[in-house]
Amino acid sequence: MNRVYYPKLPDTTHEKPERSAIGGDTHISAAIKSPDFSESRGHSMKTSTEIGSIAQHIGEERAVEATAKAGFDAWDFSMFTMGSDGWAAPGMIAAGRHLVTARHLRQIGLDNGILCNQSHAPFPSPKMLDYLKPAIECTAEAGGKICIIHPDNDGTPEQNAEMYARLLPFAKSCGVKIATENMFNWDSETDEALFAACATPESFSAHLDAVKDADLVACLDIGHAEMRGVGTSAVAMIHTLGERLQALHIHDNDRRYDLHQIPFSQSIDFAPIVKALQEIHYAGYFTLEANSFLRQYTEDTLMTGLRQMSEAASKLAAMFAGALD
Ligand SMILES: [Zn+2]
């Protein structure tokens, strides 16, 4: 999908964006000024969500605002349209305008009391190599600390290590960590997932060990790990990754298909997963990647779905903190 969000970029990054109400609500920034969401919820774990599925309805600027309004502590910068028309078309990147956009979004978040915790580079990585450094620098400009870059599904740990090793010096200079993620392939005959890079504890460890750099960390996609056919579970992955696990993609599915639905709506049992996260003293964000969930909503009803997502993320964070069983 090609969308143009910034026909006219602001000249200054700290200019207040024009705001319009979402879903018939009053001015967005008015409702979200509680000083500390985490304290008011009685736990310290922070929540976040990818903004790509929100932006499909209302564009990135309003997506960041809406994320704050729904109650999340942070936003996850989806960069899937990088390289196509829009804020990060090749010409925009050549002119450095992608960084202006990233700074602009950062400021919108700050104006609304939230920050960017992580980002998602465009994929598949082998076809998007030219955009991985721009994705890393956009992460830094947005204020994010981790840029998730998929491994090549079919690459060996050593082959993928070459890509990460090439990117790491640049990422370090930006103050951004790179996270690799557990992937899957698909068996059309059995109609279920198949092994791919980082899909199992052994493969994920081998990928990290092949680079051996504290700035290459793990993002566990919980939905991917729970699909039958990949040969593992989220709990097994968490225990193996330990302190190297610093980011999450949280979503629910029927344990067969990659549904990317809101937690607690499908078949994944999140209680043992949260317990495993407690056991390894996970200290990162609870970041949702339930990007299929908002498809059923319209621009006018979007906030209803987004608030449900925030509640689901908050419930997970509260379970982690022991507030719920
Ligand atoms: Zn993911």
What's the gap between Cα 24 and its chain centre?
A: 27
Helix (H) or strand (E) holding 211: helix 201-211
Q: Which domains does the chain have, with CATH numbers?
A: 43-320 (3.20.20.150)
The two structure tokens encoding residue 238: 């968490």
Burial class (CB in 10 A: 0-12, 13-18, 19+), 193: buried
Pairing of strands 74-78, 115-120: parallel
The radius of gyration of the chain's CA atoms, rounded to the nearest angstrom, is 19
Distance 181 CA to ligand 1 centre (A): 7
Distance 219 CA to ligand 1 centre (A): 8
Angle between helices 129-142 and 97-111 (to 10 degrees): 30
Distance 20 CA to ligand 1 centre (A): 30
What pLDDT band is residue 65 in, cutting at 50, 70 and 90?
A: very high
- DSSP, collapsed to helix, strand or coil, labels residue 71 as coil
- 287 forms beta bridges with 48
Q: What pLDDT is attached to residue 37?
A: 36
Which of 13-22, 154-163, 273-282 bottoms out in mean pLDDT, i.e. has the lowest? 13-22
Phi/psi of residue 24, nearest 5 degrees: 80, 0
The fraction of the chain above a pLDDT of 70, given in percent, is 86
Q: Tell me how crowded residue 206 is: count the other CB atoms within 10 A of its CB.
A: 17
284 Cβ contact list (under 8 Å, min separation 6): 117, 245, 246, 247, 248
Mean per-residue pLDDT for 278-283?
Answer: 96
Distance 46 CA to ligand 1 centre (A): 18
Amino acid at 160: N
For the stretch 163-200, pLDDT in tens is 999 999 999 999 999 999 999 999 999 999 999 999 99
CA-wise closest residue to 139 among 111, 166, 179, 112: 179
Mean per-residue pLDDT for 197-205?
Answer: 98
